[in-house]
Structure 1
Amino acid sequence: MSPAHAAPESRSSRVGAFVRTNLPLILVGAVLVVAVVFLAWDRWRRGAVIIGGAALLAAAFRLLLSTEQVGLLAVRSKRFDVSWLTVLGTAIIVLAATVNTLGVG
């Protein structure tokens, strides 16, 4: 059968292909959504720690996966992306853990 006569791709298979292709980005985005929920509940410290964790998760994906597999998490070279995501994630977590709350939870 020629490609012109191939059956149209179903919507669920297109969604499945999109999810498989962008899974690292989707997982990092899901963690960020959880962080925003904590921030909306006025739990800024937990939200900030989760945001830092999302940056570290993105760094781990960038380190362990190929550029094709990591998709839009690849911005510059692997060394640059991993270094800056690690520095950023660690800094956010350290700041969230050490900021004096001044009586605010």
Structure 2
Amino acid sequence: MTVTDLRSRLPVHAPLTFVLLIASAGMVRTLTQHWREGAVLLGGALIVAAVLRVLLPTDRVGLLAIRSRPVDVLCYGGLGVVISVLAMTITASLLNGG
């Protein structure tokens, strides 16, 4: 089985479903008082969306295709990196005022 065969067999809603599962896990972690892990998972979901948008053809990426490919990748990837980096760099001393 080649990559082309895998791309043609992938259901059109599978990429979005995968991203939403990661984002849901992030929301669960956030709602259970683990906001840092949840935020990193949410950022990771956006990074996965960017990678899927790069790898999959437009007709197979489903609802992850909002605008042109470069704009989608820039927005998904950029926001995902920013969220993840911010969540990992905020320390407890910053949250406690000093």
Question: What is the TM-score normalised by the length of structure 1?
Answer: 0.77
> 1:79 maps to which residue?
70
In structure 1, the gaps of 5 or more residues are 1-18
2:64 matches 1:68: no
Q: 2: CA distance between counterparts of 1:71 and 1:21?
A: 5
- Look at both structures and tell me which one has the larger radius of gyration over its CA atoms: 1
Q: 2: CA distance between counterparts of 1:62 and 1:93?
A: 19
Shift of 1:100: 2.5
In structure 2, the gaps of 5 or more residues are 1-9
Which residue identity is paired with 1:78? R
Shift of 1:76: 0.5
Q: 2: CA distance between counterparts of 1:52 and 1:41?
A: 17
Instruction: State the 4+ residue runs in structure 1 displaced beyond 4 angstroms.
Output: none
Shift of 1:21: 2.0
Which residue identity is paired with 2:19? V
Count of aligned pairs between the two proteins: 86
Q: 2: CA distance between counterparts of 1:79 and 1:86?
A: 10
The share of aligned pairs that are identical, in percent, is 40
Question: RMSD of the alignment, in Å?
Answer: 1.6
Local SS of the residue matching 1:75: coil
Shift of 1:101: 2.2
